[in-house]
Amino acid sequence: MVNIEQLHKIIERGEKLQRLMNNPDFKELILEGYLDEYANNLVHGLVTTRQPEMRKMLDDELMGISAFNYYLQMSQGEYERALDARDNMDSEEETE
């Protein structure tokens, strides 16, 4: 169970994430450039490279990108759940 202080912290962090996601520079450099284009280039390199050391390096880079993307998605989900919890708390207070 999350207390109200933790809920506010999650919401504040989620609002920061929303600002980043709406920032044109972040979209271009990170969402499009890193998470999409760069990742696709790594996958292409992984498919075309036969050297085990190079394949390992490319695989490690892809794992890092995947972990970062997962963090963004989990943060977004946590933010949405926190907003729902806050709304439910507000509704409960109104009915009391």
The DSSP result for 27-95, as a single string, is IIIIIIIIIIIIHHHHHHHHHH---HHHHHHHHHHHHHHHHHHHHHHHHHHHHHHHHHHHHHHHHHHHH
- Is residue 53 in a domain? yes
pLDDT band at 96 (very low <50, low <70, confident <90, very high): low
Q: Which domain holds residue 77?
A: 23-88
Asked whether residue 94 carries a pLDDT value surpassing 80, the answer given is no
pLDDT given at position 14? 98
Within 10 Å of residue 55's Cβ, how many Cβ atoms? Answer: 14
Which tens digit of pLDDT belongs to each residue from 29-46? Answer: 999 999 999 999 999 999
Q: Is there a domain that residue 62 lies in?
A: yes
pLDDT at residue 1, rounded to an integer: 64
Count of domains observed in the chain? 1
* Tokens describing residue 39: 């990742």
* pLDDT above 90 for 76: yes
